[in-house]
A and B are shown apart, each in its own frame.
Chain A
Amino acid sequence: MMKNLENIPVEQRRRTNPLAHVFDEFMAFCQSRSLFMLHYCTGCGAVELPPVMTSRFDGERLGISPMVSPRQADVLLVTGYVSVKTLKRVILTYEQMPAPKYVVGICSCTVNGGMYWQSYATAKKLSDYMPVDIYIAGCMPRPEAVISGMRDLMEKIRTGKADSWKDYFRNYDHYLGQQQRLFGPKWQTPTDIIGEAEHYGLITKNTRGEHTRLLEEHQKRLEPLEMRL
């Protein structure tokens, strides 16, 4: 993986408040106890999510609840295989989610192609296209396994280790390169990742590269729609 320690920016804002760490921990605790997961059934594993969220296994007691819009969601569940057509939407959805955001890869297919390893239509390794926080094994995993995975994720968030989303900004060039390899050189999304990376102070030498240069050549800015009635 591209988690190179040198790439982490050294520039840290100085924190003078003695209660800052307590506050950080409290924030992390709160974050871990209130997760909105995006309601997007990308693959067959999605069929085990309704049982997770409803009466029998009741994911809501963990503070996890489905959310219909990516703009308000914290967790992106990639439930199984992602076809190339869906992958474009998943990447777009992921980029639209506000940080901090977490990706859960469910089922075999997100790890190494799964059942569909020979298929021309599905992507094989999810981590090539976006950083993944946690994987849940199974084809498909039972609701209990999903809940265990979500609890592990909560623990990771609570201890402040779940920061793979920063990886997307730090190594954007790598991820974009993989995306371009699959979708062609003209691939683009209307989100501005480099701008966001600047905003979060996560620009490293791997954020920009040949792939982002290629993107900038093609990129068309979004224009506001004309509304006529």
Chain B
Amino acid sequence: MSKRIDWKALGSILSPLKNVQFLARPAITESLEPRVAAPNYRGFHLNAWDECIGCSTCQKVCDNAAITMVKVPELPNDPVKGVRNLRPAIDYGRCCWCALCVDICPTASISLSREYVHTCFEEEIDSYFMLPREQGMHGKDYGKGWAKSEDADMVDLHRQPMEEVAPEDRVDNFEEIVAGFTRQQAILEASRCVQCGMCHDSCPTHMHAPEYIRAIWQDDVEEAVRQMYRSNPFSHVCGRVCTHRCETACSIGRRGEPIAIRWLKRYAMDAVPHERIREIVAEQKPQFISGRSIGIIGAGPAGLTAAFDLARQGHSVTVYEALAEAGGMTRYGIPYYRLPPEALDNDVDVIVSMGVEIRYNTRVGSDITMEELQRQHDAVLLAIGLQMGRSTRIPGSDHARVFRAVDLLRMAGAGEDFETPRQAIVIGGGNVAMDIARTLARLQKQHYHEVKITVLAMEREADFLADPVEIREAREEGIHIIDARGPREVMVENDELTGLKTWRVKAIFDEQGRFAPT
């Protein structure tokens, strides 16, 4: 067979009779019934309802606006766990079967089936609007076609690495451990967000996390700060020590590492100069003055947040604080390596700049009476917090060298001298226990150049209450952690502590779910 045909070399006039030889060949015609489609065919949608969390990311990526989010009341709706009772419904009058919804689904619940035949008469046009479930459009199982694969996944499951001070460098001082994001890192981290808003719903103060993450991605940190101050005046503090329930709820965290929302908040707050933050927040100053005055007792986070919000509404607010500095437990209950006092000072300064007056060293009851307050103000808010520590109430726990967590932290925070012990046991496996252990470790390192701390947790290692990060960092700092052990008795000899008797913990809660370790 030649590659070129010379038209002058005319073929035979009979050559079309070639057709005749096809009489003997088997027919290539397919049967009338639909064939089975290819293994990764892009047919009608399937959605595994157990895996779907109603984050509506599919709706955002859909280029044809074919996806409607429908509320299904029977399904769980728990923003704290990151689950909504919304499910996507597909409009096949819009869909183009591009499968972008499959590739971007954070939970990998959506896939396309190998089913492709759907016809309907005019009066049945409603069947074009479908709520996909595990089985196909017509209740029959044709098998999964295009589904999530590693190749096609469009969700970035990995966090930007965060720089930390090495354990040996950090254990002898109270400098902040986490370096914070650089601008580049923050933009990249923010770009992972799919704007599902689970964080907003799960946050106790409903911070506008999707908005400020978006603003950080757009490299507009001032807008990010503006968004944060819509609902939370303690953004410096929360950017460092928040329990970040948002990150637990984050839909990216379903299959990968959640967005580092807390660190992004911190990045934005650190990136804007303090003066500028004050200006941005000043935009929220009220246009009118209500003429009412409100007294708030306690300059802790609750009192100051209330003061901030009330001041924004045009009331004149006075806060009475018994101690010399504002901040309450955030100042005295959190070690400096996690929350430097300057950050707190900045937050308080912003609140004061909104016109809130704070009267320090004014203890209600001794310096000023409640009646006076009620006379001076239209309303009085008590925001005194929980400042009493809890005890284990085991024998010997009333010894002078047995401390309660809150008291110890306050003493350490205030710089009081309580004779740093050479050896210490911390009872408990939560974040506070880790705070104590790591604070003591730093003090020991400063005083005695060695760390001798044992943490006694009742939970087994797998279900520790503290953040995994905290536990890892504590171990790196030389703290010994024993799991599944409960305190039994503090051993005292001649008024000196000699040790602690412990028992093995089998279960922490009894059958009714009450706290009753055995």
User: What is the interface of chain A, defined by CB distance below 8 A to chain B?
Assistant: 1, 3, 55-58, 61-62, 108, 111-115, 117, 127, 131-139, 141-142, 144-145, 147-149, 151-152, 156, 164
Contacts and interface: CB of A to CB of B under 8 A. Distances in A.
B97 A139 contact: yes
Contacts of A144: 30, 33-35, 116-117
Q: Which of A127, A135, A164 has the most CB of B within 10 A?
A: A135
A137 B92 contact: yes
A55 B28 contact: yes
29 contacts: A56-B30, A58-B29, A61-B29, A108-B93, A108-B95, A112-B91, A112-B94, A114-B94, A114-B96, A115-B64, A115-B96, A117-B65, A117-B94, A134-B119, A134-B120, A134-B122, A135-B120, A135-B125, A137-B119, A137-B128, A138-B118, A139-B95, A144-B34, A144-B35, A145-B34, A145-B118, A147-B32, A147-B34, A152-B119
B288 interface: no
A56 B120 contact: no
B29 A56 contact: yes
A145 B96 contact: no
A175 B259 CA distance: 53
A148 B119 contact: yes
B121 interface: yes
Interface string B1-33: 000000000000000000000000001111011
Contacts of B91: 112
A189 B152 CA distance: 51
Interface in B293-318: none
Interface of B: 27-30, 32-35, 37, 63-65, 91-97, 116-123, 125, 128
A162 to B, nearest CB: 9
A106 B87 CA distance: 27
B93 A111 contact: yes
Contacts of B120: 134-135, 137
B493 to A, nearest CB: 83
B96 A135 contact: no
B119 A149 contact: yes
Given A138-B116, A148-B119, A111 B125 contact: yes
Contact of B128 (A111, A115, A145, A156): A111
Contacts of A108: 64, 92-96
A151 B92 CA distance: 21
Contact of A142 (B92, B95, B116): B116
Given A57-B29, A145-B116, 10 more contacts: A1-B122, A1-B123, A114-B94, A114-B96, A134-B119, A137-B119, A137-B120, A147-B34, A148-B34, A152-B121
A127 B116 CA distance: 23
B95 A3 contact: no
A64 to B, nearest CB: 12
A145 B28 contact: no
Nearest to B128: A111
Contacts, number: 98
B391 to A, nearest CB: 66
Contacts of B92: 108, 111, 137
Contacts of B65: 117
A141 B121 contact: no
Given A115-B64, A117-B64, A117-B65, A137 B96 contact: no
A131 B121 contact: no
A133 B34 contact: no
A133 B65 CA distance: 26
B93 A113 contact: yes
A136 B123 CA distance: 14
Nearest to B22: A55
Contacts of A61: 29, 32
A113 B128 CA distance: 13
A207 B118 CA distance: 33
B11 to A, nearest CB: 24
A61 B29 CA distance: 10
Nearest to B43: A138
B80 to A, nearest CB: 36
Nearest to A142: B116
A127 B118 CA distance: 18
B46 to A, nearest CB: 15
A134 B116 CA distance: 16
Given A108-B93, A114-B93, A147-B32, A133 B122 contact: yes
B121 A112 contact: no
A142 B63 CA distance: 22
Contacts of B33: 144
Nearest to B95: A108
Nearest to A112: B93
B30 A57 contact: yes
B119 A145 contact: yes
A107 to B, nearest CB: 9
Contacts of A152: 119, 121
A156 B116 CA distance: 21
Q: Which of A56, A61, A138, A145 has the most CB of B within 10 A?
A: A138
Contacts of B34: 142, 144-145, 147-148
A137 B32 CA distance: 18
A216 to B, nearest CB: 29
A156 B34 CA distance: 20
Contact of A135 (B27, B29, B122): B122
A149 B96 CA distance: 19
A114 B64 contact: yes
Contacts of B116: 138, 141-142, 144-145
A112 B128 contact: yes
A111 to B, nearest CB: 3
A111 B64 CA distance: 13
A149 B122 CA distance: 13
B19 to A, nearest CB: 12
Contacts of B96: 108, 114-115, 139
B120 to A, nearest CB: 5
A58 B32 CA distance: 9
B122 A164 contact: yes
B199 to A, nearest CB: 30
Q: Which of A56, A57, A111, A156 has the most CB of B within 10 A?
A: A111
What are the 9 A-B residue pairs with the smallest beta carbon separation, nearest first? Answer: A112-B93, A111-B93, A144-B34, A137-B118, A149-B119, A139-B96, A145-B117, A58-B29, A148-B117
A147 to B, nearest CB: 6
Contacts of A127: 122, 125
Contact of A134 (B28, B37, B121): B121
A2 B128 CA distance: 19
B91 to A, nearest CB: 6
B452 to A, nearest CB: 69
Contacts of B117: 141, 144-145, 148
A137 B95 CA distance: 10
Contacts of B29: 55-58, 61
